[in-house]
Chain A
Amino acid sequence: MTVAIASGKGGTGKTTMAVNLALSLQGPVQLLDCDVEEPNCAIFLKPRIDASESVGIAVPHVDETFCDACGECGRFCRYHAIVSLKTTPLVFPELCHGCGGCALVCPTGAIHEELRSIGVIEQGVRGSILFTQGRLNVGEAMPVPLIRALKKKKRTDGIVLLDSPPGTSCPVIATLRGSDLVVLVTEPTPFGLNDLDLAVQTVRTLGMPFGVVINRSESGDDGVLRYCTKESIPILLEVPDERRVAEAYSRGETAVEALPHMRELFGIFAARITAELEACRRTPLPAAGR
């Protein structure tokens, strides 16, 4: 079963929750770092990476010998990624979404596709935890194709944890799709509350069960608590605002390894998540929700 750990606001503690939860769950666990623009799980999990593969998207290449500059490809493309003037078409690979349409519409079969690398997927292990991360090449605009490729590496047994990027737009959606449970991590501040509400609306649009984790609780006000009560959103965990936790984090240490009371807290969290997943398994969502 898949648990996605997301948030509206950045820096609320998604990676912290994902890694410490992975270390606290029983049974086979896979941690997928889907924040391909800034993957950080490995800093804390310190897996042994043993495999790496390049990921590409298909971009058009035009064979000039077959091209008669009819302009069909340029007329078709919604992204101005291929432009046909009186000469052979120009390709702007950075704008290409890899839909394959230009190759399909070309009447002379002059377009074939080649993979253009956008990033890498790396796999490794830490104890019994299987770890997979994606890393987008710097300068690449589109993380979504890499996230989609990364999610194909999900194992089918045990629990899969997805560390999601921050925000509510396409990379987050690509991460959340197909998850059984979403954990929204927030902080009890006005920014945290504002972005939590956006994240809640997003998850509700996707139709998946979700709960909230309040990190650095009592560092702000009770706005988030009141919001969750009003919206009947279960609070799965509250993590106190402790300097020692922040310091361990700054050194790349996991909370559960650095502080015994954190190990206890995350043990409770792991049990809660396991219970929530059991409940999800027993009441499957309608197909339209996925």
Chain B
Amino acid sequence: MKIAITVSGKTLDAPVDQRFGRAPVFILYDTKTRSSEAVDNSQNLNAAQGAGIQAAETISRLGAECLLTGHCGPKAFRTLSAAGVRVYNGASGTVAEAIAAFEAGKLAESSGADVDGHW
């Protein structure tokens, strides 16, 4: 399956970006083929409104089934849930470390947003 991880950087050893909506890049990782690609999210860096929603749409379009990130706001969370994407807040370290933690079952699936929304 494909999982998406927010990253401040472009590679697997870059740190997980803690903010979902405005993370500059997503890494899309295929757990079966173990391949990954970096997807640009810079359009949302300075989006005035709806960055989280837009980012959620991107994640959904990429076919990710899970999202690993630091924090996710309520509108983004609602959009991701509607798209059937499972959200794992609290991911940290490098992308590779976050993937390993996820695969080892160490990350808990989030049942809601863990930060307030912003405009």
Q: Chain A interface (Cβ within 8 Å of chain B)?
A: 74, 79-80, 83, 85-87, 90, 92, 95, 141
In the complex, the chain A residue whose C-beta lies closest to that of B60 is A85
Contacts of A141 in B (CB 8 A): 119
Closest Cβ–Cβ distance, residue B89 to chain A (whole Å): 20
Check B49 against A95 for contact (C-beta < 8 Å).
yes
The yes or no answer to B57 lying at the interface (CB within 8 A) is: yes
Known: A85-B60, A86-B60. A80 touches B50 (CB 8 A): yes
A173–B24 CA distance with the chains assembled, in angstroms: 36
Known: A85-B57, A85-B60, A86-B60. A79 touches B50 (CB 8 A): yes
Q: Chain B interface (Cβ within 8 Å of chain A)?
A: 49-50, 53-54, 56-57, 60, 75, 78-79, 82-84, 119
Check B82 against A90 for contact (C-beta < 8 Å).
yes
Beyond the given pairs A83-B57, A85-B82, A87-B82, 11 more chain A to chain B contacts, judged by CB atoms under 8 angstroms and listed by A's residue number, are A74-B57, A79-B50, A80-B49, A80-B50, A83-B56, A83-B82, A86-B83, A87-B84, A90-B79, A92-B75, A95-B75
Check B53 against A92 for contact (C-beta < 8 Å).
yes
Pull 19 A–B residue pairs with CB atoms less than 8 Å apart, ordered by A.
A79-B49, A79-B50, A80-B49, A80-B54, A83-B57, A83-B79, A85-B57, A85-B79, A86-B60, A86-B83, A87-B82, A87-B83, A90-B78, A90-B82, A92-B53, A92-B78, A95-B49, A95-B75, A141-B119
A interface secondary structure, majority = loop
Closest 7 CB pairs of A and B: A80-B50, A85-B83, A80-B53, A85-B60, A90-B82, A83-B79, A83-B53
Which of A74, A90, A141 has the most CB atoms of chain B within a 10 A radius of its CB?
A: A90
Contacts of B82 in A (CB 8 A): 83, 85, 87, 90
Contacts of A74 in B (CB 8 A): 57
A141–B117 CA distance with the chains assembled, in angstroms: 13
A74–B57 CA distance with the chains assembled, in angstroms: 10
A86–B60 CA distance with the chains assembled, in angstroms: 8
Closest Cβ–Cβ distance, residue A61 to chain B (whole Å): 16
Closest Cβ–Cβ distance, residue B78 to chain A (whole Å): 6
Which of B50, B79, B119 has the most CB atoms of chain A within a 10 A radius of its CB?
A: B50
A87–B83 CA distance with the chains assembled, in angstroms: 7
A79–B78 CA distance with the chains assembled, in angstroms: 16
Contacts of B119 in A (CB 8 A): 141
Closest Cβ–Cβ distance, residue B51 to chain A (whole Å): 9
